[in-house]
């Protein structure tokens, strides 16, 4: 398949921009697939109400089809068609956080095929905050099913060049809005399940439990997110798969900053003696001390948004640089730190050394 790659910027001629997004929307309406930018990561979109489109998404990603997709909408009124009832919680959360990086799980209506929900009676819905994504979704008919636009198991793409790496030849079009990508959040949306008695976070993200509780009161977090040894399967099916993984072996190192630096530099030396390339994810506080072949700075430990924004890019860059062993500092788990640690632990297959 020939994949069209279409560059977009918000300040280009409005008519030209609209023509491109309208063409992309037509591809979705006729059953094709388009990768598009959002404020979290790039999505791989198809018509959420067309079962064949959802099947094509699974095929393009090489993703197991029991791993449901998120339905992206651009208009609050469109929610009614795809869910059975809209609980008060959902309205409040939508008012507070949509458009934005929050996905809500609700009871699905008959309009949503089981191919889109991985066989579940519930559907995941989000209204993304990216202005171009909103226009694209409207042009596509209002319901775009989209997982992250990476091959299954690879880090989610925060840049179009990584979408191209994974999806060129597999989908109809890639909308490249990299020139706008700087403010992106960089990790996937928070997922909250509103179908039980108490709202439950199934995947942490930029919107934290505290932010949700400020709006709707008591909210829980699925224990399997926090506990690597939990025997329970995670409630978001996708969380059970190894995810976000770079090709190199990733290990997280936790301890006093100076101990961590010393440990990682020792390991760097041992690898170097065997001719193996190493990479490090460090922070402002420690970065100058590392001796690895490739050293990435996640920013200040007090500002983990910067770590979230850059994490997947770092993992992809290590791949590009053929790094065999990657060491990352552990991050404090408050606020968005919980989401950063969740993704990092999954990328590392839970390999974490505590000094």
Contact letters for Mg ion, residues 141-180 (x by CB under 5 A): -------x--------------------------------
Do 141 and 29 touch, CB atoms closer than 8 A? yes
Structure tokens at 86: 């809209």
**Is residue 123 near ligand AMP by the rule CB under 6 A?**
yes
What's the rounded Cα separation, in Å, for the pair 354 and 330? 9
**Is residue 68 near ligand AMP by the rule CB under 6 A?**
yes
User: CA torsion sign, 331 to 334 to 340 to 346?
Assistant: positive
If binding means CB under 5 A, how many residues of this protein chain bind Mg ion?
A: 1
Judged by CB under 6 A, the chain residues 229 through 268 that form the site for ligand AMP are 235-239
**Is residue 124 near ligand AMP by the rule CB under 6 A?**
yes
What's the rounded Cα separation, in Å, for the pair 200 and 207? 13
Residue 237 CB-density burial (10 A; 0-12 exposed, 13-18 middle, 19+ buried): middle
- Would you call 21 helix, strand, or coil by DSSP? helix
Using CB distances below 5 to 8 A depending on partner kind, what does residue 25 bind out of Mg ion, ligand AMP, none? none
List 55, 67, 109, 262, residue binding ligand AMP (CB under 6 A) = 67
For 133, other C-beta atoms within 10 Å of its C-beta total: 27
Contact letters for ligand AMP, residues 18-57 (x by CB under 6 A): ----------------------------------------
The b/e string for 51-88 (b: 16+ C-beta within 10 A; e otherwise) is: eebbebbbebbebeeebbbbbbbbeeebbeebbeebbe
Nearer to ligand AMP, 167 or 292 (CB): 167
Using CB distances below 5 to 8 A depending on partner kind, what does residue 122 bind out of Mg ion, ligand AMP, none? ligand AMP
List 24, 35, 70, 93, residue binding ligand AMP (CB under 6 A) = 70
Point out which residues bind ligand AMP (CB under 6 A). 67-68, 70, 105, 117, 120, 122-124, 147-148, 188, 191, 202-203, 235-239
């Amino acid at each position: 398949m020939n994949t069209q790659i279409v560059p977009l910027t918000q300040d280009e001629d409005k008519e030209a921009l609209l023509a491109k997004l309208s063409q992309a929307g037509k591809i979705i309406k006729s059953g094709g697939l388009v990768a598009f930018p959002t404020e979290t990561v790039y999505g791989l979109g198809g018509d959420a109400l067309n079962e064949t489109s959802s099947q094509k998404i699974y095929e393009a990603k090489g993703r197991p089809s029991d791993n449901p997709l998120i339905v992206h909408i651009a208009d609050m009124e469109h929610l009614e068609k795809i869910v059975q009832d809209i609980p008060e919680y959902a309205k409040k959360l939508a008012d507070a956080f949509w458009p934005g990086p929050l996905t809500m799980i609700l009871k699905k209506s008959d309009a949503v095929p089981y191919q889109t929900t991985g066989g579940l009676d519930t559907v995941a819905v989000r209204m993304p905050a990216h202005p171009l994504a909103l226009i694209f979704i409207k042009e596509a008919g209002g319901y775009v099913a989209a997982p992250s636009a990476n091959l299954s198991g690879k880090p989610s793409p925060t840049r179009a060049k990584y979408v191209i790496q994974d999806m060129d030849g597999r989908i109809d079009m890639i909308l490249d809005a990299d020139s706008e990508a700087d403010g992106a959040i960089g990790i996937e949306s928070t997922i909250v399940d509103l179908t039980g008695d108490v709202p439950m976070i199934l995947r942490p993200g930029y919107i934290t439990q505290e932010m949700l509780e400020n709006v709707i009161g008591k909210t829980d977090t699925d224990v399997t997110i926090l506990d690597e040894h939990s025997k329970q399967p995670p409630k978001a099916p996708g969380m059970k798969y190894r995810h976000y993984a770079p090709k190199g072996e990733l290990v997280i190192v936790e301890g006093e900053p100076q101990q961590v630096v010393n440990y990682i530099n020792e390991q760097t030396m041992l690898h170097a003696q065997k001719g193996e390339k190493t990479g490090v994810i460090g922070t402002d506080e420690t970065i100058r001390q590392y001796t690895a072949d490739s050293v990435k700075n996640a920013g200040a430990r007090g500002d983990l948004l910067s770590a979230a924004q850059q994490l997947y890019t770092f993992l992809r860059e290590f791949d590009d640089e053929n790094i065999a062993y990657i060491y990352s500092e552990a991050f404090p788990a408050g606020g968005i730190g919980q989401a950063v640690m969740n993704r990092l632990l999954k990328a590392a297959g839970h390999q974490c050394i505590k000094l």
